[in-house]
Structure 1
Amino acid sequence: MPIKSFFAKIYANRVAKKIYRWANDPVKTQEKVFAQLILQAKQTAFGKDHHFEQIKSHQDFIKNVPIRDYEDLKPYVERVKNGELDILWPNKPVYFAKTSGTTSGTKYIPITKESMPYHVEAAKEALLLYIYHTGNAKFVDGKMIFLQGSPELDEKNGIKIGRLSGIVAHFIPGYLQKNRLPSWEANCIEDWETKVDTIVQETLKEDMRLISGIPSWVQMYFERLIEVKKEKVGNIFPNFSLFVFGGVNYEPYRQKMENLIGRKVDSIELFPASEGFFAYQDMPNPTNNPNQGMLLLLNSGIFYEFIPADQFYEKNPPRLTISEVELHINYVMIVSTNAGLWGYNVGDTIAFTSLKPYRVIVTGRIKHFISAFGEHVIAKEVEQALQEACKNTDVKINEFTVAPQVNAPDTGLPYHEWFIEFEQLPENLAEFSLNIDEELQKQNSYYFDLRKGNILRPLVISQVEKNGFQDYMKSIGKLGGQNKVARLSNDRKIADNLKTKK
């Protein structure tokens, strides 16, 4: 057995025991994190403004610290950017993760010397747990690729600024550096299409075993590989055995990806964000069950609160701790972190699939939904409806998004318009459309009522030409990296843009 995989198995066993120790004592783990966060931030400007010295319990915290989004936190962030110390967290951040906001423009999320290690360790732990449960460590003896943003960083007042994936690239362990691709030079290429073409040339003759990235951009990489070699990715890389992804639900992409590869490969789902690394898939998933969930990281310097999504916009919604959540309820996730975020609305909605240990799935974004007619359809529901409609068919889908059509062009009933880029069309598009509609009615009772009450007509599919979504993302400067197409919009900004490109 090669030496790297041999020692990886020993190390994985040790790390797994450590992880499941805190996972099996979740409430105490979160109480300890909460107490430590309050203690460390007492003397910061935020801590003094919000009377941290008086906070002894979660109820005290609720009274003193309101829920915030980035705009609410921005005055404190600006003070940090201007060089002030001890504002949100002791001293100052070592990095700002620069990310695009839908309403706030560019956001600068602090990363401190206390929070940075968790961004790195979590991804490593996910791989080690995969080794622990499967015994498969062969991938560590070959090449690995991480499709990510540029590692080149700016700096202001002693704080380095860049994309999260680019920041993390500076922390790849030394023992993996020789195995890791792409090269530093390729990673620094800003133009995504040029970058992918360069990566294709760098990897064509390598023994690629692990490939990681957002599914839509990995799909683009696979397509370019196939264009060059005229064969499936699984033949180009015969030892490719593990796909690591995050950021979006993989299920809408799975069939297309497996077709590009030419066979099934194991996968690991991650839940990273600039605000923190929240969860990862800790157990193998041989049945590809999208509802298995990811282990919520309760011991990573993050204190979690959960607000039922249907109560989020109430004046004083309940703020639940980990001990109060229930299975299969859609929650808005609120975090307080050792990077200086307090009562912060990440924007993601999650649901718990297990309480022993606590595992979650991402159900969407609290601001990404359709409720033009009172239906409040969320991402998980449209993804599940599409997945069910595609079952036992040859239909392959590259990308899709959904928007309401309030003012129908034919002056008839309004409807949901689905923009779908097909790789393989259904034999009967009208029947396929009705199948999705019926599945969505099963997923969402409000949509069911609107359909049965003839308030809405059946959904309408608008076909998007090949590479239409890539062209759209390029046109708004968000091609590649960590950028994703919104599954749902309550307006027609994306829809109308796609219409003009048809």
Structure 2
Amino acid sequence: MGLTSTLSRPVAAYIARQYAHWQQDPVGTQQRVLKGLLAKGARSAFGRDHNLAGAQTAQDLAAHVPVRDYEALSPYFNRVKAGEADVLWPGRPLYLAKTSGTTSGAKYIPLTRDSIPNHINGARDALLHYVHKTGKSRFLDGKLMFLSGSPELETVGGIHTGRLSGIVNHHVPGYLRRNQMPSYQTNIIEDWETKLDRIVEETLPQPMSLISGIPPWVQMYFDRIVARTGRPVGEVFPQFDLFVYGGVNFEPYRKKLFDTIGRPVDSIELFPASEGFLAFQDEPGNPGMLLLLNAGIFFEFIPAERFFEPNPPRLTLAEVELDKQYALVLNSNAGLWGYSIGDTVRFTQKYPFRVVVSGRIKHFLSAFGEHVIGEEVEQTLREAMKQHPEVEVVEFTVAPRVSDDPAVPSRHEWLVEFARPPHDAAAFAAALDTGLRRRNTYYDDLLAGNILAPLQLTPLPTGAFQRYMKSLGKLGGQNKVPRLSNDRAVAEGLNSGNDD
């Protein structure tokens, strides 16, 4: 056993004791976090605008600060981007994490001196909990793969700006950096396919022990390894012991990923976001992820079915129930206040509080990291129909189609019931692709890098959606087929219901 793996065990035990301490009083922990946030946030422009100095409790917070998303808070975010200090949090952010998912394009999420430890320590503590619970630490002596965005940063308003994974890459602890893969020179390559080929070349001779990343990107890396060697990944890397993942719905990838590995390996699920590192799987085999209650984030939970009410209830940790869907609202030391992150969670356990990510409060598709939202696909369809005026659409939905063939990229599938179909289906599909690429830079990047193929247009027979909804007992009323899905459930239901 090497020095790093040996030393990790007492450190893991120490971190586990720290977590156990605040878990003894999770509700009190959240109350203390809120008190600290309000005291410091009161010194910002947002704090003055919303009288945070006069707020002491969660009820006061809800009375002073409405629930808003990035779009609604954009006047404050724009001031931060322009370089103004003391806007959402005292001082200026250390970084801006650039991401996507709004109708106006990219989001710029502040990472402050107070909030950056949440992102760094969350990932570290996930690994240390695994060491503590399993006694397995050998993986720390091998090579560690972190598939991430480029660590090269730009400057916006005098603030270092880039993808979250690239920012975090600058904070990998020194004791892990010497084993980190890929090299910095490879990691800054912008073209994904070129970068992936270089990663394969760098890692094939190495004793890879941990591989981490967003599942579709990891799958592409695995496919290249198999294509190059003709052997499963687990045979190519006999020391590969631990797979760490997060960022998108894992279920569409689970079977193929582990089939490609060719043998069982342990895994850890993370719940990272640009807005904060929110939870991680702290017990092997338990699908629930431990909610991080002592990391500078005060959580609020809105019952999902009431989210779009004018004044929905905002529950604290003490008020949540098991197996109910809640929209997640954050207040944090990054300067996020009443911030709707868009995710829904379901509590699988209380004391300690563990959650699974159950979906999105709005229509959303990010099976491949593209962050496509409902407004984008609806606008795209309307534009394509203007270009093809003969087309009339009854209903449609979009789902991911994950390829089982390494030589064939995955793609989106648009399942459309036409009242009048296009004269040229291929041209109509191309118009959809062009429109979505223009509206969503991530989707454009994925197609440009051949990570995704152009979309598949699947016409459905007349009455397809009605028959599908009837089969679910949801025909009529306010029930709607989701425009976007992160899995194949709706698509397969539509197809199977029309095979008769």
Q: Give how far 1:78 is off.
A: 1.3
2:334 to 319, 335, 339: 339
The 1-side partners of 2:47 and 2:289 are apart by 32
| Distance of aligned partners of 1:316 and 1:452 in 2 relative to their CA distance in 1, 3 Å threshold | closer
The 2-side partners of 1:326 and 1:210 are apart by 36
| Distance of aligned partners of 1:165 and 1:322 in 2 relative to their CA distance in 1, 3 Å threshold | same
Q: Give how far 1:451 is off.
A: 6.2
Q: Which residue of 1 aligns with 2:105?
A: 105
Sequence identity (%): 51
Q: Give how far 1:233 is off.
A: 0.7
Residue 301 of structure 2 is aligned to residue 306 of structure 1: yes
The 1-side partners of 2:274 and 2:164 are apart by 6
Q: Give how far 1:72 is off.
A: 1.2
Q: Which residue of 2 aligns with 1:143?
A: 143
Residue 288 of structure 2 is aligned to residue 293 of structure 1: yes
- Counterpart mapping for 1:363-374 below 5 A: 363-368=358-363
Q: Which residue of 2 aligns with 1:327?
A: 322
Residue 448 of structure 2 is aligned to residue 449 of structure 1: no
Contact preservation (8 Å) 1:353, 1:360:
yes
Note the residue ranges of structure 2 that are not aligned, 5 or more in a row: 366-373, 379-394, 422-464, 492-500
Q: Which residue of 2 aligns with 1:407?
A: 418
Q: Give how far 1:106 is off.
A: 0.7
Q: Which residue of 2 aligns with 1:487?
A: 486
Q: Give how far 1:331 is off.
A: 0.8
The 2-side partners of 1:22 and 1:398 are apart by 45
| Distance of aligned partners of 1:115 and 1:324 in 2 relative to their CA distance in 1, 3 Å threshold | same
Q: Give how far 1:267 is off.
A: 0.3
Q: Give how far 1:2 is off.
A: 2.2
Scaled by the length of structure 1, the TM-score of the pair is: 0.76
- Counterpart mapping for 1:382-421 below 5 A: 405-407=416-418
- Counterpart mapping for 1:199-238 below 5 A: 199-238=199-238
Flag as ranges the 4+ runs of structure 1 deviating above 6 A.
369-372, 394-398
The 2-side partners of 1:73 and 1:102 are apart by 12
Residue 348 of structure 2 is aligned to residue 353 of structure 1: yes
Which secondary structure does the structure 1 equivalent of 2:245 belong to?
strand
The residue type equivalent to 1:156 in the other structure is V
Q: Give how far 1:94 is off.
A: 0.7
Q: Which residue of 2 aligns with 1:87?
A: 87
The 2-side partners of 1:404 and 1:322 are apart by 40
The 2-side partners of 1:402 and 1:22 are apart by 46
The 2-side partners of 1:452 and 1:58 are apart by 39
Scaled by the length of structure 2, the TM-score of the pair is: 0.77
The residue type equivalent to 1:225 in the other structure is I
Q: Which residue of 2 aligns with 1:433?
A: none
The residue type equivalent to 1:487 in the other structure is N
Contact preservation (8 Å) 1:400, 1:487:
no
The 2-side partners of 1:108 and 1:357 are apart by 32
| Distance of aligned partners of 1:244 and 1:456 in 2 relative to their CA distance in 1, 3 Å threshold | closer
Q: Which residue of 1 aligns with 2:498?
A: none
Q: Give how far 1:104 is off.
A: 2.9
- 1:321-348 Cα distance to aligned partner (Å, 9 max, x none): 1111111111110001101010001111
| Distance of aligned partners of 1:456 and 1:78 in 2 relative to their CA distance in 1, 3 Å threshold | closer
Superposed CA RMSD: 3.4
Q: Which residue of 2 aligns with 1:420?
A: none
The residue type equivalent to 1:192 in the other structure is W
Q: Give the count of matched residue pairs.
A: 415
Q: Which residue of 2 aligns with 1:431?
A: none
Q: Give how far 1:158 is off.
A: 2.8
- 1:5-31 Cα distance to aligned partner (Å, 9 max, x none): 111111111111111211231100000
Note the residue ranges of structure 1 that are not aligned, 5 or more in a row: 387-393, 411-436, 460-484, 493-502
Q: Give how far 1:102 is off.
A: 3.6
